[in-house]
Amino acid sequence: MAEADNDQGLAGLASLPSLDALMQALDARDMTPGWIPRDKPILTATMHSQFVPAHWRYAEARAAMQSAGRLIDTELAERRNFVMRNPIEGNDFSTLRTLICAYQSILPGERARSHRHTPHALRVILESKGSFSIVDGEKTPMETGDIVLTPGWSWHGHGHDGDEQAYWFDGLDVPLTQLLEPMFCQDHPDGWESVTTTTDHSPMRFIWSETLAALAQAPADPTGHFGTTVTLPAPTMPSIQLQVHQWASGWRNAPYRHASNMIYVVMQGEGSSSIGDQTFHWGYGDTIAAPAWNRIAHHASADTVMFCMSDEALMRWAHYYRIEALA
């Protein structure tokens, strides 16, 4: 009987009397015609990010973190951080489509408990003397100007043996992980991971003085888009590309746009950046979000070192990347 009913149903689907009847039958079966117009088209002629260019001032975040240091401790907030949320409707935390960033702080004598998660993470240390990171049992310093890596699913925690409040920038690929859905997170069973190795030099740490030395030896940028650039090796974090740019006072780039989401952190200097139709004047520690396929034009008004995290390597791997020079 069930087979006969099914055959009758198939016959009915094959002989529907009108397009409206076909649309209703498809809808009842959770199918939708590919030819109908939609509020959000399936395909578009050109790329357009839903995220907007944005700028966060480190001086403001730093002042707020001083208040946070008085008002909440690491027992109540395992990570005392301020997430930089892109100001678009309906967005709760993402900085750009694939990336999220935050400012974080720790007080002298504090320890942030160890945990691990699927997303890859990094820290750009803005002000610190005496803080440290423990990644998979390896303890390394976190000093001003350092860039510290936390590959996905690595145990990590940090502490502070110095005398002054420490501040840094956090960057992660949390939005990408949520989009692809392999999100896992776990607290360390001991609360605080034991130290098995202590070292100043580690693949997880890029020391400020060594970054400057690498920039001094780096070749000139033949495109004029990016300035003198070094790419930091992070093979265990393939979804995030890490670069540091050096721009002499007065430098202007050749404007461009490309299919990559980028987040800049000012490690030294000051200047301005026009991203899309917005212009931001930046200084030390500031963060600038540049959504993919927006025009990018920089001007350094002082000697500048600029950190950049992006999804460019991911876009290239997927054969999605393209770049276009602009006037």
Question: What pLDDT is stored for residue 244 in this prediction?
Answer: 98
Question: What pLDDT is stored for residue 2 in this prediction?
Answer: 54
Angle at 202 between CA 230 and CA 312, to 5 degrees: 35
299 Cα distance to chain centroid: 23
293 Cα distance to chain centroid: 16
Do the domains 54-206 and 210-325 sit in the same CATH topology, yes or no? yes
Residues 6 or more apart in contact with residue 109 via CB below 8 angstroms: 160, 161
Domain boundaries 54-206, corresponding CATH code: 2.60.120.10
Report the 10 Å Cβ neighbour count for 107: 19
Report the distance separating Cα 222 and Cα 227, nearest Å. Answer: 9
Question: What pLDDT is stored for residue 69 in this prediction?
Answer: 85
Mean pLDDT for the chain?
95
Question: What pLDDT is stored for residue 1 in this prediction?
Answer: 47
Report the distance separating Cα 240 and Cα 123, nearest Å. Answer: 13
User: What's the pLDDT tens digit per position in 73-114?
Assistant: 766 666 789 999 999 999 999 999 999 999 999 999 998 899
Query: What is the token pair recorded at 268?
Result: 């030294």
User: What's the pLDDT tens digit per position in 223-249?
Assistant: 999 999 999 999 999 999 999 999 999
DSSP bridge pairs for 135: 138, 156
Question: What pLDDT is stored for residue 112 in this prediction?
Answer: 87
Confidence of residue 139 (pLDDT cuts 50, 70, 90): very high
Report the distance separating Cα 16 and Cα 35, nearest Å. Answer: 18
Buried/exposed 237-270: b ≥16 CB within 10 Å, e otherwise: bebbbbbbbbbeeebebebbbbbbbbbbbbbbbb
Helix (H) or strand (E) holding 174: helix 174-180
Report the 10 Å Cβ neighbour count for 280: 20
Q: What is the DSSP string of 93-143?
A: S-SSSS-EEEEEEE-TT-EEEEEEESS-EEEEEEE-SSEEEEETTEEEEE-
Decide if domain 210-325 falls under CATH 3.30.1160.10.
no
Q: Taking the domains of the chain in order of start, what are their residue ranges?
A: 54-206, 210-325
Question: What pLDDT is stored for residue 71 in this prediction?
Answer: 87
Helix (H) or strand (E) holding 23: helix 19-28
Question: What pLDDT is stored for residue 6 in this prediction?
Answer: 65
Question: What pLDDT is stored for residue 294 in this prediction?
Answer: 98
Question: What pLDDT is stored for residue 72 in this prediction?
Answer: 81
21-46: average pLDDT: 94
For residue 7, is pLDDT > 80? no
**Which of 152, 169, 319, 126 lies closest to 237 in space, CA to CA?**
152
- Judged by average pLDDT, the poorest of 56-60, 80-84, 179-183 is 80-84
167-172: average pLDDT: 98
For residue 278, is pLDDT > 60? yes
Query: What is the token pair recorded at 46?
Result: 């050109």
